[in-house]
Structures are given as C-alpha cells and as structure tokens.
Structure 1
Amino acid sequence: MKAALSRRVMQGLSVQTVIDVGASTGSWSKMAQEFISDAIYLLIEANSFHESKLVEFKKQNPKVEYLLAAAGDYVGELYFDAQDPFGGTASHEVIHTSDITVQVTTIDAQVKEKGLKPPFLMKLDTHGFEIPILRGAEETLKNTKLVIIEAYNFKLTQDCLQFWELCDHMKKKGFQPIDICDPMHRPKDQSFWQMDIFFIPNSSREFKSNKYN
C-alpha cells in the first residue's frame, strides 16, 4: 500500500481532504499521512469497538475528524454485523444474528455538513457494501482524484461486486484502475481472495498514452 500510494504522490497527486471509510483504528489514515500530510482527514467507522483508538488518533492529529457511523446511500439507520471488529459488513436488511442497528450517513452529506474541500481522496474498506457508499458520494466523486477500494474475487454478500465488476462500475462512474496492491490469498486453498485497487479519473494524463516507455 505504501509503495502504491507513494507512486501516486510522485505522479503529482494533491488532495485537500482524505475520506477514510471503514477506518477501523485509523491505522490506514496514519500511514497515508506519511505521504499526504497537509490534508484534512475524515474517518468514518461503524463499529464502536474502535472508538477509543479513533479518539486517541484525533487527539494527536488536529487535522483529523472521525464519525461513528456507517457510510451508505441515505441518512438514517441500517444493519451492521459487529461480530468481527475488523471484518464488519453493513446491510439494508438483517443478514446475521449478530447484526446491530447503527447510524448511516452519506459521504455527500458529510462533505456538505463539514464544509470539506476538494480535491478528495476516498478509501473504502467496506467488505462488499461499496455500491451503496458510492451511490451516496455522487457529488463528491466529481471532485475526487483517487479512489482506493478493497476489492474481492469472491462474492462476500449477495450485492457485492467481484473485482472485475467493480472495475466496470467505476469506469461508468468516470474512473479507471491505475494500480493494485496487497493481493491476498485465502489460507484453506491459496485462492486469490482480495486486493486494493487504485482508481483515477478517466481523463487523467496517464491514460493519454498506451506506450510502455
């Protein structure tokens, strides 16, 4: 992840706001600050298990805000599987016996409410709930320079997009893959499980050339 993010910064990536969805303890944002130190960071996390770590991270970083809620396609409430603190999944309907009700908001609503400034970087670590989150970020995406999404080779949920479907969806949203990192293989059979995909706007200069050198 560090190498991939460094490559984007070396190619001129400059953002004013980083939106970290599925922020967990804030470890990803802490890492990103090594490369993007001047931006405002908004961390969105649905699982209250991580709140003490987020409070600590915010105290140490004046440019960090956090929100204890899920991100989705409306403002209100939805269900969240909180059994695994590092693997929770949001859903519009009850799926697991461990599902709890949590607050949900949209990225667009938070950008407007908090007066967050573009250009944006958006990171999603959301275990199959990417489409509702992207649906709730239509306006923000118009001013986003980089979207990093944890993508999967298997369908984690009924509505989860596998990585090639996600690439097609993002192409329709105006973004194409420019990098990948951290491929993971599941232990039981060493099958490719997931990776992080870096998406940048279709209009980016990188796509002006199809030459290797």
Structure 2
Amino acid sequence: MIKEKLSNRALRLAASMLTRHGFHVSEERYSAAYLKRYAFEINTFVDVGVYKGSPVFYEVFKDKKLVLIDPQPDTMEQAADSVRGLDFDYIQSGAGATRGVATLSLEGPSSSLMKRIDWKRQPGQTIEIEVATLDELLAKKEYAGPFGIKVDTEGFDLDVLKGAEQTLRETHFVFTEASLRRRFEGGYRFSELIAYMAEQGFEVADVIPHRAHNRLVDVLFVRSGSPALEPNAVPVRAIA
C-alpha cells in the first residue's frame, strides 16, 4: 500500500512537471486494460496485417477464435510468440476490395501494396501476392460472428474494408490505422474512410494519435447505437 501511494505520488509529480511544459499526460489507450472497458462481445477476432502480431488485442480476446491474415511469407515466424497457446488460424493472403494479384513491397511492419510518397528511399524487395476480399477469406471456413476486426495495411485499409461489406454486417468494432495526410499514390482521404464506415453503420468511438508523428492515427469504429458511444462510457483517466 505504501509503495503504491509513493508510486502514484511520483506519477502525479512527473505529470505536473510535463503539464507545465505543454504536455498532456493520460493513460495509454492502445492497451488491453483500456480496450477491455468497451466489453465487446464477439466470437471471432480478425487481424488483417499481422507482422509480429497484435498482443494487445490477443490479450483482450484470448478466449476467442483468432484469424490472422497477412501475405508476408515470414508472418508466422514473426508472430509465433504472440499467439502461442491461443486458438488461431493463419491465412496467408492479401485482403482487398476485389480478388486479384498485387505487388507487395517488403518493408517489415511497413510493408505495403501501395507506392509510398512519404519516404525518399526506394522500396526493398517486392513479391507478387494473391489478394482476396475479406468476405471470401472468412466465408471459406464459416467463422462465427459477431466479429471484431483490426486492420493495419499501410494505406490499403479502406480497400480491405470495401471487401468486407458482408462481414461488417456482423461486426461490433473495427480498429484501423488511418492516414491523416497523403502518404501513398492514389491513397484515400481520411474523410473517405469516415464516410464509408458511416455508410456501413459505424461511428467513431475513439482516435488514438501516433506517438512519433501526425501523419496517421488509429481509429476505433463501433456500430451505431453501441453503448460505447454513450457519453463517458469509456473515460480516459488523466494522470495529472
């Protein structure tokens, strides 16, 4: 108890000092503790764009079916530790608005099917991959809804969601990386993503800024009418 009180006091003092220098201090929202407060009731969690995995979400939904979708050849080698002991399926495929073949630039967590305009360096190795719609990929094994979906596909996020119209009808939330500024050739505008999700019956419940820059954010969409949209349903705690 004494240790906890001292720790809280130290946190408050540090937060107060940072506030005086123009910073706002609050809890980490990209965390299992924070996301658990939404109390989403789903049967299947779909992770599109896996790389090393999404342990924050795997912790929240560790007793649910996990479906990992990523076209990179070393995905399961990279993500093995984060899904060990969990009930998961891995589908090696790209996801998009239509079925086809596309070129993937291999850049680790920044691998993309889009051509970047926000980097000066040339892309590294490229490979040809198969792309299918999320509706097709999930229908093959008849996964049970309701679904929760995370999308992190470096600029291809709206394309992924456009290929998921049937799945979205059974989806409680979508957590996606979203570009605020133009980062890719032919990339979507942020307003287009918001408008598309509104057409599918979703509203923005939270926006989590990127720690290093303001070119992108993480956006949590929840179905219209969800309790998560009620005022102060999931409060953020300031530390100061």
Contact 1:43–1:64 (CA<8 Å) still a contact in 2?
yes
Segments of structure 1 that go 5 or more residues without pairing to the other structure are: 187-191
**Structure with max Cα Rg:** 2
Once the two structures are superposed, the pairs formed by residues 10-159 of structure 1 within 5 Å of their partners are 10-26=37-53, 28=54, 30-54=55-79, 60-82=84-106, 84-91=107-114, 98-159=125-186
Number of corresponding residues = 201
> Which piece of structure 1 moves more, 161-170 or 172-181?
161-170
Alignment partners' CA distance in 2, 1:105 and 1:12: 31
Alignment partners' CA distance in 2, 1:155 and 1:5: 30
Q: How far did residue 130 of structure 1 move?
A: 1.6
User: Paired residue for 1:176?
Assistant: 203
Contact 1:123–1:149 (CA<8 Å) still a contact in 2?
yes
Q: How far did residue 100 of structure 1 move?
A: 2.1
- The TM-score normalised by the length of structure 2 is 0.73
Alignment partners' CA distance in 2, 1:173 and 1:160: 20
- CA distances 1:36-78 after superposition (whole Å, capped 9, x unpaired): 22111111112213342345655x2351111121111233321
Distance 1:163 1:110, change over 3 A: same
Contact 1:54–1:66 (CA<8 Å) still a contact in 2?
no
- The TM-score normalised by the length of structure 1 is 0.81
Alignment partners' CA distance in 1, 2:220 and 2:44: 17
- CA distances 1:75-107 after superposition (whole Å, capped 9, x unpaired): 33212111x111111159xx9684321111221
Alignment partners' CA distance in 1, 2:212 and 2:191: 17
Secondary structure at 1:48 match in 2: coil
Is 1:197 aligned to 2:197, yes or no? no
Contact 1:121–1:147 (CA<8 Å) still a contact in 2?
yes
Q: How far did residue 208 of structure 1 move?
A: 5.8
CA RMSD of aligned residues (A): 2.8
* Higher RCO, 1 vs 2 (CA within 8 Å, ≥6 residues apart): 2
- CA distances 1:164-193 after superposition (whole Å, capped 9, x unpaired): 43222211221111012242343xxxxx12
Alignment partners' CA distance in 1, 2:221 and 2:201: 9
> Which piece of structure 1 moves more, 170-179 or 115-124?
170-179
Distance 1:65 1:205, change over 3 A: same
Contact 1:78–1:91 (CA<8 Å) still a contact in 2?
no
Q: Which amino acid aligns with 2:96?
A: G
Contact 2:68–2:90 (CA<8 Å) still a contact in 1?
yes
Of Structure 1 and Structure 2, which has the larger fraction of its residues in strand? Answer: 1
Alignment partners' CA distance in 2, 1:57 and 1:11: 22
Percent identity, please: 23
Segments of structure 2 that go 5 or more residues without pairing to the other structure are: 1-27, 116-121, 236-240
Contact 1:127–1:156 (CA<8 Å) still a contact in 2?
no
Q: Which amino acid aligns with 1:203?
A: G
Secondary structure at 1:118 match in 2: coil
